[in-house]
Amino acid sequence: MAEQFQSAIDSSVDKTNLILKDIEQAYGWPKAQRNQSYAALRTVLHLLRDRMPVQESVEFSAQLPMVVRGIYFDGWQPQDVPIKLNRDDFLYEVRQGFPYDVAGGPERIVQVVLDTLRRHITQGEWDDVRDNMPADLAKIMP
């Protein structure tokens, strides 16, 4: 049993590092900037989570690696969702939650993180996530 647990943890850490590495590669950041890729992932995940209805949020999270799922649910207040955010509100909140200045600003951060997440989520689930976003925000989703 302990081996299964360790294997599950190791696999989740590997998958999480792959997601963070994908973000870093999109920006050309070295691994030394892992805090930036983590902050970008966390910020966008929390905004997606809070924008979706509870059931859809839970379904989406089921496809995330265990470590990323923990990040996703950290601080979640399901009784307060979904929060109505249009594209401009979403980008404003990304800027507030991501303390680094990067090329392309908040819109590029969102695009990089969403592109990365899209590669790790089934098409059907991604379509469901997109369908839960306002039209102006869904337009920037892959």
Q: For 74-90, write each residue's pLDDT tens digit.
A: 999 999 999 999 999 99
**What per-residue confidence (pLDDT) applies to 1?**
63
Total of domains in the chain: 1
Q: What pLDDT score was predicted for residue 5?
A: 77
Q: Report the predicted TM-score, pTM, of the whole model to 2 decimal places.
A: 0.94
Sign of the CA dihedral running 112, 56, 60, 2 = positive
Closest CA to 109 of 32, 24, 18: 24
Q: Which domain, by its residues, includes 112?
A: 1-139
pLDDT tens digits, residue range 3-47?
887 888 899 999 999 999 999 999 999 999 999 999 999 999 999
The model's pLDDT over 36-77, given as tens digits with 9 standing for 90+, comes to 999 999 999 999 999 999 999 999 999 999 999 999 999 999
CATH code of the domain covering residue 125: 1.10.490.110
Sequence-distant (≥ 6) Cβ neighbours of residue 59 within 8 angstroms: 125, 128
Give pLDDT, residue 7.
85
**What pLDDT does residue 8 have?**
86
